């Protein structure tokens, strides 16, 4: 999505790292009546664009 040529540097996991993350939006659905309306890939594109613009203008 970013077309980045950046080199990835892997670091050891923190001691308290959960190992696997599995976000659950069930609580937001139940208590707030909220559900996502933007598909993941589109949302990531918007987020990448936002931070790209932020960095360009700083």
Kindly write down the DSSP assignment for every residue of 10-46, as one continuous string: --PPPTT--SS-----HHHHHHH-----S-HHHHHHH
Report pLDDT for 21: 84
pTM of the model as a whole: 0.64
Q: What is the pLDDT along the chain (58 residues), one digit of tens a residue?
A: 998 899 999 999 999 998 888 889 999 999 999 999 999 999 999 999 999 999 999 9
Report pLDDT for 47: 98
Report pLDDT for 45: 97
Report pLDDT for 18: 87
């Amino acid at each position: 999505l970013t077309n980045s040529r950046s080199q990835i540097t892997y670091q050891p996991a923190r001691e308290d790292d959960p190992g696997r993350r599995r976000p659950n939006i069930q609580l937001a659905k139940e208590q707030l009546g909220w559900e996502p309306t933007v598909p993941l890939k589109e949302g990531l594109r918007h987020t990448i664009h936002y931070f790209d613009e932020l960095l360009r203008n700083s």
